[in-house]
Structure 1
């Protein structure tokens, strides 16, 4: 039986069913767990979460737990909320500008990375996963994508070699949600797509760390080990709780290709489900635009161009076109050359005009020197400039583009 209590009534031995408020407002990545550690009790008491639900059939009730209070002494300061949680906006999905979403997206990226590291760490130790625990992550990512898809997707692309596996899962979740919206899928299907994206690579936790993080080219034997991760992940999810068939399917089949040359089952065309076809596109895009132990990242616009050449053989063309509509022909962070001879980095896409994004100019090719930074909306009726080509940052020796597009807009 579920019972709603205040956070100050919580004691060790209770089974926490859910916490009130946003997932970002409390200190745990899980929402269902048996409270066993004094440190967790103190973190909960000082979190600012006002109320929560306990399951008295799986843990202690308030009356049962009362005598246990002495086992976890809480200081008077910790007994009071450390801070009042930020109230949830009236509509957490209302569209906002890139600049307005960046701060929230930054917090969400960090929170999601920590949650995935914890979740995947438990999976590596052989603990079964409960997919319901992942739903708050998916909901917050879905809300951010609804407000402005470019912010979270662009920030999630910025990974280090050490956290690639974890941030890749966050990024693919966001890309799957964005793609589902472009394809007109229902809210339930969109949540399923996001959950599948978050869990699609969990099989990597069954791979030897020295092979997974090898900085050089894999041997044939090592590559065969890595190719087993979809099946291993499928088996891990099967052993878990509340894992939908859609997540199992994407985990097993996100490396299948339309021409039948993929793995593990060499499925072809319509044999591959829609969500798995979506997963294939999102997985590849994030992989090639990210720095990994054995390769540097490709620039976003160049990656879209290369993937377009693979479409039909590797990817479903309809799904790929919807994907491009979601991330843009020139995704955020792309280096472009304008008709005026200036170089610019893309800072925000215009959904109604993919070829005319918002850019930040910073370099003159005619003078071969930096120029004062200026933000331009190329879709504005008064704009006299336009993109004539995409450029490779490495060809120009630019290593600071990610810092440039993340700078707040000057007033």
Structure 2
């Protein structure tokens, strides 16, 4: 039996069954749990959520004085289904970036919690992550570039956790580019979020090793897809698609991948999608052993790896990000350098950029926003930041998010 109560009535020992509000508006990654900590009780009361559902069979009921009078609560067997909200409207990069930042931050905390629970021997409950996938999906629908670009910014220390959030977002954007149904889009997002759960079982000294791995250590790393698949099988809520991506995201269409040496004929569409998204985020991110590559450079390199990716899936992936993804350093025909800060839906070759460097004077210039769709300027090509002694490219497009 479920009962809806105001947060002022919540007490320790209650089983929280759901929050009456958006996932991003309450401080927990799970929607269902027994309330045991006074700190968590305080967080609930201080949050933007004003009411919660409690499960009377799994936890305590409301405690009221005998003389408090009759109070009417909504009591049901199941939480009533609300009419689905309309699809979120498209927004600008600037409008979405702050909300995306909150989602990325809370998403990282959720993945950290999932990893910790797995290491403690708890079974994975995939359905608990559904609200996070929904928030990421809605953010990508409002503006694909905002959350995807933010999720790429990660330190070597938080790479494993942020990588899961990033691949979730990339899978969602790619699924929409491939014209999959919204149900399949959510499946793709969940697969991206959980694809690396097997890494929770790898010793941190190997997972975060800054130097070259030994053959024995690499064999341990290569066991994470099968280990993750086992964890999902032993847990609950993970679909066959999610398990498939977890097991096969390191396969290649030429059959040289692992763990099953599948090829383009035997890999599923979702596994092919996972392979592309996983690699892109890995090579554009700072890792314990190397700095991330420029986004545009990464796409160019990936395009040259024959036999690695499915061509149709890869082309759709490029379209979902843009030929010059956000954060790419480009050179204009005028000789000025700029960083891509937003895509143009009408033309992949005409993004908005922030110009900040002159190759002629070899010096920084006052930053200037240039919309190539409304300018005579054209991109001559991508540029290598090291060539010009530029070490802080990210700060120019991240500053646009403040």
Matched, 1:221 2:213: no
Q: Which residue of 1 aligns with 2:46?
A: 46
Conservation of the 8 A alpha-carbon contact between 2:344 and 2:352? yes
What TM-score results when the alignment is normalised by the length of structure 1?
0.90
Matched, 1:128 2:123: yes
* CA-based RMSD: 1.6
Conservation of the 8 A alpha-carbon contact between 1:97 and 1:148? yes
CA deviation digits over 1:125-159, x for unaligned, max 9? 22111111101111111111011111111111011
- Which residue among 386, 393, 397 is the counterpart of 1:405? 397
1:13-32 equivalent positions in 2, closer than 5 A: 13-32=13-32
> Which segments of 5 or more consecutive residues in structure 2 lack a partner in the other structure?
66-84
Conservation of the 8 A alpha-carbon contact between 2:362 and 2:388? no
Evaluate the alpha carbon distance shift between residue 19 and residue 364 of structure 1 in structure 2; reply closer, same or farther with a 3 A threshold.
Answer: same
SS in 2 for 1:18: strand
Q: Which residue of 2 aligns with 1:368?
A: 362
Conservation of the 8 A alpha-carbon contact between 2:167 and 2:192? yes
C-alpha distance in structure 2 between counterparts of 1:305 and 1:148, whole Å: 24
SS in 2 for 1:297: coil
Q: Which residue of 2 aligns with 1:394?
A: 386
C-alpha distance in structure 2 between counterparts of 1:346 and 1:367, whole Å: 21
CA deviation digits over 1:170-207, x for unaligned, max 9? 00000001001101111111111101100000100000
Evaluate the alpha carbon distance shift between residue 98 and residue 389 of structure 1 in structure 2; reply closer, same or farther with a 3 A threshold.
Answer: same
CA deviation digits over 1:311-343, x for unaligned, max 9? 5x1111111111100111001111111111111
Cα distance, 1:247 vs structure 2 = 1.0
- Which residue among 299, 319, 322 is the counterpart of 1:325? 319
Cα distance, 1:48 vs structure 2 = 3.3
Matched, 1:95 2:87: no
What TM-score results when the alignment is normalised by the length of structure 2?
0.92
Conservation of the 8 A alpha-carbon contact between 2:97 and 2:401? no
SS in 2 for 1:152: helix
CA deviation digits over 1:237-290, x for unaligned, max 9? 111121111111111000011011000000111311111110000000000000
Q: Which residue of 1 aligns with 2:76?
A: none
C-alpha distance in structure 1 between counterparts of 2:310 and 2:345, whole Å: 22
Conservation of the 8 A alpha-carbon contact between 1:233 and 1:252? yes
> Which segments of 5 or more consecutive residues in structure 1 lack a partner in the other structure?
68-89
Conservation of the 8 A alpha-carbon contact between 1:11 and 1:66? no
1:280-299 equivalent positions in 2, closer than 5 A: 280-299=275-294
Conservation of the 8 A alpha-carbon contact between 1:360 and 1:376? yes
Matched, 1:260 2:255: yes
C-alpha distance in structure 2 between counterparts of 1:396 and 1:136, whole Å: 44
1:85-234 equivalent positions in 2, closer than 5 A: 93-234=88-229
Cα distance, 1:218 vs structure 2 = 0.4
Cα distance, 1:45 vs structure 2 = 2.3
- Which residue among 293, 300, 307 is the counterpart of 1:305? 300
SS in 1 for 2:293: coil
Q: Which residue of 1 aligns with 2:81?
A: none
Alignment length (residue pairs): 383
Task: Spell out structure 1 runs of 4+ moving beyond 6 A.
Answer: none
Q: Which residue of 2 aligns with 1:343?
A: 337
